[in-house]
C-alpha cells in the first residue's frame, strides 16, 4: 500500500488560540479516510494546511513519501491535492466548460484556448461522474448540488490523487448523494485517497475505511470502520478490505459521538407532543408563479412540528418564501388564525406573527459585522425601544436572556456575529425571530452544517417552542431529523404537496413520496 | 484589535499635526484665522455627514458637488429677488432634497449602481447649470451676507449649525432605530430585509437626506460672500468622501462613526494651512492629502485581511 500523505505532529496557532495541538494524520492510496469532529475541533484548519492555505507552525508534511517544506495552494495543486468545499468556489459568470478548463489549463495564461477540446473534456468528465449538466450552462444558473458536481469534475480532471471533500452532501438529495458516493468509490478504486468530512455519521459508516476523530485541536484516535455496505465491495476487493476483516471490535455510532464530544450524548430526539391545539396557519391552494409553488394546501396547528420533506428543488424553500412574503403568493389563500390575510412583504409577515429563519444563515440569518445583541433585537425595535430611542440596557438584558435561554456560546452580547461558530450563529438567528414573539415559526434547514452537540440542543429548543404553543413548520433535508422531530410530515414534489404523512412514518415512505413512486402517501 | 482603531488613528494623526504646529508654528493658533478656517469648512462638514450615511449604507453619491453648485446658484438668484432669507433657505433645501430623491429613486427604485447614477447626475447638473447660466456670477444684495449679522456672529452661527447637525446625526446613528438600520442595510441588505427592515426605503432615505444636507450646505456657503460662484462645489465629492474614508467609515458599508468623519475632516482641512505655517510649499498639500487617504484605505485593507483569518 502506498502512503499518499503523512502529517506528523502538526501544530498551528492563531494569536492566542491553538487550533491544532500536534496532530498526526495519514492517508493511504485507495482509501476513504473520514475526518470527524465538532465545529471548532480543528478540521478546517487541518484541511487548510493540507491545501497550503495555512502554513503550520510546527510538524512535518510528507506527500507521497517526500517531505514538503513549504506548501502553497499552487504547490498543493501541482502535487495533486484537490479540495471540494461546502460552498463551491466556481466563477458564476463563466460556463461549466470554462470553469473546468480554467482548472485544467491555467499553467500558461498566454496560450491559445482550444474551445473544442476544452468543451469535450468537460463533457467527458461530467459524464464520468454521471452528472447531467450541459458544459455550456452558466454556473450561476446551476443549483448548489450541480455546482458541487462541477467542482468534483474539476478535481477529477486535474488528476487529483488526494481529494478532500468538506461536507459534500450537506445540500444534496438522496439520489445525488448516491451519485456522489459512486464517484468517491470510483476514485478510491482508481488508487486516489479521499479525505471525507461530514456530520452525517451514517455516511461515514457507508463510505469510510478509516475515521479520525478530532477534538479541541487534538486527534482523539483513528479507527477502522466496518462498512455497512456489503455487496458492492466484492468486485473491487483490495488490501483495504482485508484490513477491514481484521479490524478491531466493531465501531458504533455512539462510540464515535462519545469520541467527538468526550461524553455520551443521546441521539434520541425529544419526545413528540401528544395533543396539538387549534389550527394557526392554513394554506388553501396557495400558488406563486415566480417561485414555482402551486396548489399547496396545508394546515399547521399550535404546538405541532410539521416538517416539509422533499428533494432539493421540490419547492420547500420557495413555499416558505411565499408564506413569508418574499415572493408573494399570486393564487390561493393564506388563513392565519381564522382570518384571511394577504402578505406582500416580510414586514407584513412579521407584523402578523410569522417568523422565518432562513436557510443560508451565513449570508442572511446573522449580520456578521454586528454584535450578537444588535442581531437579536433587529426585528423588535418597535417593541423594546418605545419612542425609538435605543436603550442599550434593555437591549443587553434581552440579549443576555436569549443567550441563557438558548445557551449561545459567545463571549458576550457585544461579540460580533462572525466570531461565533455555525451552531451558535443559528441560535442567534433563532433568537432574533423568537424575540418577535411569533405564532408561526418557519425553520429552513435549522441544523445544516451544525455539529452534533449543537444539533441536539437546537432540536430540544424547537420541541420546547412547540410545547409552548408555537406552530412550527420545519424544512429539512436530514431524513433522521425529519423522522425524529415531526408530528406530521408533508412531502413536497414539483412545487406542491405530494403527501402528508404521520410523524411516525418510516424513511421509506417519505422517500418514495418525495421521489414520486406509486403507492406513496397511502 | 480595538473596534475604534481607525477612529483613534485618525485622531492620533490629527493630534500629532496639531502638536507639530504648536511647537514649530504657534502662529497657526490665532483665533481669527482659525474661525475663518472653521467657517470655510462648515458646509463641507454638513455634506460629509450626509456622505457618511450614504457610504455606511453601502452606496456612494459623487453628484454632491454639482447639487451644491445648482443649490448655491438658486439660493443666490432667489436672494437677489429679495425673497426673505428663511424662505430662500427652505427652498434651497427643498431643491437639494429633490436632487437627492432623484438619485435615490434611480438607485433604490430601479436597483441601479449608485456610482453610475450619481456620475451621470454629477455631469448633467454641472453642465446643465453651465449651459443655463453661461458661468455668470450672481451678485447678492446687501443684508444677505452673514444673514445681515456682524461677520463674527455669522461665522459662529455657521460653525455652530454644522456642529449641531454633526451631534444630532451622531446621536441618531447610535441611539435611534433608524440609525441602526442604516448599518444593517449597509452590512447585509438581504439579511436586513428578512429581519423586517425595508432596505430600499432606507437607501432612498439616505439619498434624500444627502440632498437636503447639500442644499443646507449650499446656503451656508452662499451667505459667506457677496457673490455666488457658479463653479462652487467643484471637488466637494472628493473632499467629503476623503474625510469619510480617512475617518474610518468602511467604503464597503456597515461600519463607521460620525466622530471619525469629523476627525478625518479636521485632519484634511488642517493640512493645507498647516503647510503654509510650516513654510512648506503649498502644492505639497494636495499630495499629502492624497497620501493620507491612501494610508487610510491601506489600513482598512490590512484590517479586513486580518479579520478574515
CATH of the domain at B233: 1.10.3470
Q: Using the 8-state DSSP alphabet, how is residue A506 labeled? A: -
Confidence of residue B108 (pLDDT cuts 50, 70, 90): very high
- Among B178, B180, B191, beta carbon nearest to A365: B191
Output the CA torsion B112→B117→B118→B124 (10° steps).
-160
| Closest Cα in chain B, distance from residue A197 (Å) | 21
Q: Is B188 on the interface with A (CB under 8 A)?
A: yes
Residue A274 lies in a domain: no
With contact defined as beta carbons under 8 Å apart, do B181 and B58 qualify? Answer: no
- A367 to B255: CB separation less than 8 angstroms, yes or no: no
Are A239 and A167 members of one domain? yes
- B254 to A390: CB separation less than 8 angstroms, yes or no: no
Tell me which range, A335-349, A423-437, B162-176, B182-196, is most confidently predicted by mean pLDDT. Answer: B162-176
Q: What is the pTM of this model?
A: 0.73
Question: What's the pLDDT score for residue A231?
Answer: 38
Residue A151 lies in a domain: no
The closest alpha carbon to A106, from A148, A77, A85, belongs to: A77
- Among B176, B184, B198, beta carbon nearest to A367: B184
Residue A108 lies in a domain: yes
Are A232 and A136 members of one domain? no
Find the residue in A nearest to B3 (Cα). Answer: A416
Whole-angstrom Cα distance, residue A325 to residue A345? Answer: 4
- Among A346, A364, A368, beta carbon nearest to B196: A346
Neighbours of A417 (CB within 10 A): 25
- B192 to A367: CB separation less than 8 angstroms, yes or no: yes
Q: Cell for B54?
A: 450614504
Are A187 and A252 members of one domain? yes
Q: Is A363 on the interface with B (CB under 8 A)?
A: yes
Residue A153 lies in a domain: no
What's the structural domain count of chain A?
3
Are A430 and A355 members of one domain? yes
A516 half-sphere exposure, CB direction, 13 A CA radius? 9
Q: Which residue has the cell 484605505?
A: B297
| Closest Cα in chain B, distance from residue A58 (Å) | 19
DSSP alpha helix (H) spans, A436-506: 452-467, 479-485
For an interface test with B, the pick among A388, A394, A428 (most B C-beta atoms closer than 10 Å) comes out as A388
Q: Cell for A42?
A: 480543528
3-state secondary structure string, chain B?
CCCCHHHHHHHHHHHHHHHHHHHHCHHHHCHHHHHHHHHHHHHHHHHHHHHHHHHHCCCCCCCHHHHHHHHHHHHHHHHHCCCCHHHHHHHHHHHHHHHHHHHHHHHHHHCCCHHHHHHHHHHHHHHHHHHHHCCCCEECCCCCHHHHCCHHHHHHHHHHHHHHHHHHHHHHHHHEHHHHHHHHHHHCHHHHHHCCCCHHHHHHHHHHHHHHHHHHHHHHHHCCCCEECCCCCCCHHHHHHHHHHHCCCCCCCCCCCHHHHHHHHHHHHHHHHHHHHCCCCCCHHHHHHHHHHHHHHHHHHHHHHHHHC
Q: What is the mean pLDDT of residues B207-233?
A: 95
> Is residue A3 classed as helix, strand or coil in its secondary structure?
strand
| Closest Cα in chain B, distance from residue A110 (Å) | 30
Flag whether pLDDT at B230 surpasses 50.
Answer: yes
- A347 to B180: CB separation less than 8 angstroms, yes or no: no
Q: Is B309 on the interface with A (CB under 8 A)?
A: yes
Please name the helix (run of DSSP H) or strand (run of DSSP E) that holds residue A54, with its range, or none.
Answer: none
Domain that holds residue A185: 3-80+161-261
| Closest Cα in chain B, distance from residue A410 (Å) | 17
Residues of chain B neighbouring A372 (CB-CB closer than 8 A): none
Share of chain B above pLDDT 70, in %: 97
Residues 302-341 of chain A with CB under 8 A from chain B are 326
Residues of chain A with confidence (pLDDT) below 50: 229-248, 264-266, 518-522
DSSP state letters, A12-52: EEETTEEEEEEEEEEEETT-EEEEE--TTSSHHHHHHHHTT
- Among B174, B175, B187, beta carbon nearest to A367: B187
| Closest Cα in chain A, distance from residue B69 (Å) | 36
Residue A131 lies in a domain: yes
Question: What's the pLDDT score for residue A224?
Answer: 87
With contact defined as beta carbons under 8 Å apart, do A263 and A456 qualify? Answer: no
Residue A114 lies in a domain: yes
Question: What's the pLDDT score for residue A368?
Answer: 83
Are A54 and A137 members of one domain? no
| Closest Cα in chain B, distance from residue A284 (Å) | 24
Residue A252 lies in a domain: yes
**Positive or negative: CA dihedral A288, A291, A294, A297:** negative
> What distance, in Å, lies between the first and last C-alpha atoms of chain A?
52
* Averaged pLDDT of chain B: 91
- B194 to A356: CB separation less than 8 angstroms, yes or no: yes
- Among B175, B184, B196, beta carbon nearest to A350: B196
| Closest Cα in chain A, distance from residue B189 (Å) | 9
Q: Using the 8-state DSSP alphabet, how is residue A139 labeled? A: G
Question: What's the pLDDT score for residue B207?
Answer: 97
Find the residue in A nearest to B171 (Cα). Answer: A389
- B194 to A326: CB separation less than 8 angstroms, yes or no: yes
Whole-angstrom Cα distance, residue B214 to residue B102? Answer: 14
Find the residue in B nearest to A390 (Cα). Answer: B175
Backbone phi and psi for residue B259, each to the nearest 5 degrees, phi listed first: -65, -40
Backbone phi and psi for residue B83, each to the nearest 5 degrees, phi listed first: -65, 155
- B174 to A14: CB separation less than 8 angstroms, yes or no: no
Residues 259-298 of chain A with CB under 8 A from chain B are none
Whole-angstrom Cα distance, residue B255 to residue B248? Answer: 8
Q: What is the mean pLDDT of residues B283-290?
A: 83
Residues of chain B neighbouring A365 (CB-CB closer than 8 A): 191, 194
Are A49 and A189 members of one domain? yes
Q: Is B177 on the interface with A (CB under 8 A)?
A: yes
With contact defined as beta carbons under 8 Å apart, do B267 and B242 qualify? Answer: no
Are A289 and A404 members of one domain? yes
Cβ neighbours of residue A245 closer than 8 Å, sequence gap 6 or more: none
User: What is the domain-level CATH number for residue A343?
Assistant: 3.40.50.300
How far is the CA of A378 from the CAs of A60, A224, B255, in angstroms? 47, 48, 16
Q: Cell for B188?
A: 447585509
Residue A268 lies in a domain: no
With contact defined as beta carbons under 8 Å apart, do A117 and A97 qualify? Answer: no
Q: What is the mean pLDDT of residues B250-260?
A: 91
The closest alpha carbon to B44, from B257, B268, B205, B245, belongs to: B268
Please name the helix (run of DSSP H) or strand (run of DSSP E) that holds residue A379, with its range, or none.
Answer: none
Q: Cell for A71?
A: 506548501
What's the structural domain count of chain B?
1
Domain that holds residue B128: 5-308
| Closest Cα in chain A, distance from residue B97 (Å) | 24
Are A75 and A91 members of one domain? no
Q: Cell for B144?
A: 444677505
Q: How far is CA A474 from the centre of its chain?
A: 15
- B191 to A367: CB separation less than 8 angstroms, yes or no: yes
Q: What is the mean pLDDT of residues B154-171?
A: 96
Question: What's the pLDDT score for residue A16?
Answer: 57
- Among B176, B196, B309, beta carbon nearest to A347: B196
Whole-angstrom Cα distance, residue A84 to residue A180? Answer: 12
How far is the CA of B150 from the CAs of A129, B75, B144, in angstroms? 84, 21, 11
Q: Using the 8-state DSSP alphabet, how is residue A521 labeled? A: T
Find the residue in A nearest to B174 (Cα). Answer: A390
- Among A369, A385, A388, beta carbon nearest to B254: A369
Are A180 and A309 members of one domain? no
Q: Is the ipTM of this complex over 0.90?
A: no
Please name the helix (run of DSSP H) or strand (run of DSSP E) that holds residue A193, with its range, or none.
Answer: strand A193-197
Are A42 and A93 members of one domain? no
Are A40 and A96 members of one domain? no
Flag whether pLDDT at B197 surpasses 60.
Answer: yes
Are A74 and A95 members of one domain? no
Whole-angstrom Cα distance, residue A127 to residue B296? Answer: 51
To 5 degrees, how large is the angle CA A301–CA A302–CA A306?
55
| Closest Cα in chain A, distance from residue B54 (Å) | 18
| Closest Cα in chain A, distance from residue B9 (Å) | 21
Flag whether pLDDT at B253 surpasses 80.
Answer: yes
- Among A358, A378, A390, beta carbon nearest to B176: A390
Q: Cell for B120?
A: 451621470
For an interface test with B, the pick among A370, A376, A389 (most B C-beta atoms closer than 10 Å) comes out as A370
Question: What's the pLDDT score for residue A250?
Answer: 66
Amino acid at each position: 500500500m502506498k502512503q499518499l500523505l503523512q502529517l506528523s505532529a502538526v501544530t498551528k496557532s492563531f494569536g492566542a488560540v491553538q487550533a491544532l495541538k500536534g496532530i498526526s494524520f495519514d492517508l493511504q492510496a485507495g482509501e476513504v479516510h473520514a475526518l470527524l469532529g465538532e465545529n471548532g475541533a480543528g478540521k478546517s484548519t487541518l484541511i487548510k494546511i493540507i491545501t497550503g492555505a495555512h502554513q503550520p507552525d510546527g510538524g512535518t508534511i510528507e506527500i507521497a513519501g517526500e517531505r514538503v517544506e513549504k506548501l502553497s495552494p499552487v504547490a498543493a495543486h501541482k502535487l495533486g491535492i484537490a479540495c471540494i468545499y461546502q460552498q463551491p468556489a466556481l466563477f458564476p459568470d463563466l460556463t461549466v466548460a470554462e470553469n473546468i478548463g480554467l482548472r485544467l489549463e491555467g499553467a500558461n495564461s498566454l496560450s491559445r484556448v482550444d474551445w473544442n477540446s476544452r468543451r469535450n473534456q468537460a463533457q467527458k468528465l461530467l459524464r464520468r461522474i454521471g452528472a447531467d449538466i450541459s458544459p455550456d450552462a452558466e454556473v450561476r444558473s446551476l443549483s448548489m448540488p450541480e455546482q458541487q458536481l462541477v467542482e468534483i469534475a474539476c478535481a477529477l480532471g486535474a488528476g487529483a490523487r488526494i481529494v478532500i471533500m468538506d461536507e459534500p452532501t450537506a445540500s444534496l438529495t438522496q439520489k445525488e448523494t448516491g451519485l456522489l458516493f459512486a464517484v468517491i468509490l470510483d476514485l478510491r478504486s482508481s488508487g486516489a485517497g479521499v479525505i471525507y468530512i461530514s456530520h452525517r455519521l451514517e455516511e461515514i459508516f457507508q463510505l469510510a475505511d478509516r475515521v479520525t476523530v478530532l477534538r479541541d485541536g487534538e486527534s482523539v484516535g483513528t479507527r477502522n470502520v466496518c462498512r455497512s455496505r456489503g455487496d458492492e465491495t466484492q468486485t473491487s476487493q483490495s488490501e483495504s478490505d482485508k484490513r477491514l476483516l481484521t479490524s478491531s471490535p466493531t465501531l458504533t455510532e455512539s462510540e464515535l459521538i462519545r469520541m467527538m464530544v468526550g461524553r455520551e450524548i443521546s441521539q434520541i430526539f425529544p419526545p413528540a407532543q401528544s395533543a396539538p391545539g387549534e389550527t394557526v396557519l392554513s394554506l388553501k391552494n396557495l400558488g406563486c408563479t415566480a417561485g414555482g409553488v402551486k396548489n399547496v394546501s396545508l394546515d399547521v396547528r399550535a404546538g405541532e412540528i410539521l416538517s416539509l420533506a422533499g428533494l432539493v428543488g421540490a419547492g420547500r424553500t420557495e413555499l416558505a418564501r411565499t408564506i413569508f412574503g418574499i415572493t408573494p403568493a399570486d393564487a390561493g389563500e393564506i388563513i392565519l388564525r381564522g382570518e384571511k390575510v394577504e402578505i406582500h412583504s416580510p414586514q407584513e409577515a412579521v407584523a402578523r406573527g410569522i417568523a422565518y429563519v432562513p436557510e443560508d444563515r451565513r449570508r442572511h440569518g446573522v449580520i456578521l459585522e454586528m454584535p450578537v445583541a444588535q442581531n437579536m433585537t433587529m426585528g423588535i425595535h418597535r417593541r423594546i425601544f418605545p419612542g425609538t430611542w435605543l436603550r442599550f440596557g434593555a437591549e443587553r438584558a434581552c440579549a443576555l436572556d436569549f443567550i441563557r435561554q438558548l445557551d449561545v456560546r459567545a463571549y458576550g452580547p457585544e461579540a460580533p456575529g462572525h466570531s461565533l461558530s455555525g451552531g451558535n450563529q443559528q441560535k442567534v438567528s433563532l433568537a432574533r425571530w423568537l424575540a418577535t414573539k411569533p405564532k408561526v415559526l418557519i425553520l429552513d434547514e435549522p441544523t445544516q452544517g451544525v455539529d452534533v452537540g449543537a444539533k441536539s440542543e437546537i432540536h430540544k429548543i424547537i420541541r420546547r417552542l412547540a410545547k409552548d404553543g408555537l406552530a412550527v413548520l420545519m424544512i429539512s433535508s436530514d431524513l433522521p431529523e425529519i423522522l425524529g422531530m415531526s408530528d406530521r410530515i408533508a412531502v413536497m414534489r414539483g412545487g406542491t404537496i405530494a403527501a402528508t404523512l404521520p410523524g411516525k412514518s418510516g424513511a421509506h415512505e417519505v422517500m418514495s413520496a418525495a421521489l414520486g413512486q406509486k403507492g406513496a402517501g397511502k | 484589535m480595538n473596534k475604534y482603531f481607525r477612529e483613534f488613528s485618525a485622531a492620533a494623526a490629527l493630534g500629532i499635526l496639531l502638536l507639530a504646529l504648536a511647537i514649530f508654528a504657534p502662529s497657526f493658533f490665532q483665533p481669527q484665522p482659525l474661525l475663518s478656517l472653521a467657517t470655510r469648512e462648515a458646509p463641507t462638514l454638513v455634506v460629509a455627514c450626509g456622505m457618511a450615511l450614504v457610504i455606511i449604507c453601502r452606496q456612494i453619491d459623487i453628484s454632491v458637488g454639482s447639487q451644491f453648485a445648482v443649490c448655491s446658484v438658486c439660493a443666490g438668484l432667489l436672494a437677489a429677488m429679495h425673497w426673505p432669507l428663511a424662505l430662500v433657505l427652505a427652498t434651497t433645501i427643498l431643491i437639494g432634497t429633490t436632487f437627492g430623491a432623484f438619485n435615490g429613486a434611480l438607485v433604490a427604485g430601479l436597483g441601479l449602481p449608485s456610482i453610475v447614477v450619481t456620475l451621470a447626475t454629477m455631469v448633467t447638473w454641472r453642465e446643465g447649470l453651465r449651459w443655463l447660466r453661461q458661468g455668470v456670477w450672481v451678485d447678492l444684495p446687501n443684508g444677505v451676507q452673514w444673514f445681515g449679522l456682524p461677520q463674527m456672529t455669522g461665522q459662529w452661527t455657521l460653525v455652530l449649525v454644522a456642529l449641531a447637525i454633526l451631534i444630532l446625526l451622531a446621536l441618531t446613528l447610535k441611539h435611534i432605530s433608524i440609525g441602526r438600520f442604516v448599518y444593517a442595510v449597509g452590512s447585509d441588505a438581504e439579511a436586513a430585509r428578512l429581519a423586517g427592515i425595508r432596505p430600499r426605503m432606507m437607501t432612498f432615505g439616505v439619498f434624500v437626506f444627502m440632498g437636503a444636507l447639500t442644499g443646507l450646505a449650499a446656503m451656508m456657503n452662499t451667505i459667506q460672500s457677496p457673490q455666488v460662484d457658479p463653479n462652487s462645489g467643484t471637488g466637494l465629492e472628493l473632499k467629503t468622501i476623503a474625510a469619510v474614508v480617512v475617518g474610518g467609515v468602511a467604503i464597503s458599508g456597515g461600519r463607521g462613526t460620525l466622530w471619525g468623519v469629523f476627525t478625518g475632516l479636521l485632519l484634511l482641512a488642517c493640512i493645507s494651512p498647516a503647510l503654509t505655517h510650516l513654510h512648506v510649499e503649498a502644492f505639497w498639500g494636495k499630495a499629502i492629502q492624497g497620501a493620507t487617504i491612501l494610508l487610510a484605505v491601506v489600513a482598512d485593507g490590512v484590517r479586513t485581511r486580518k479579520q478574515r483569518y
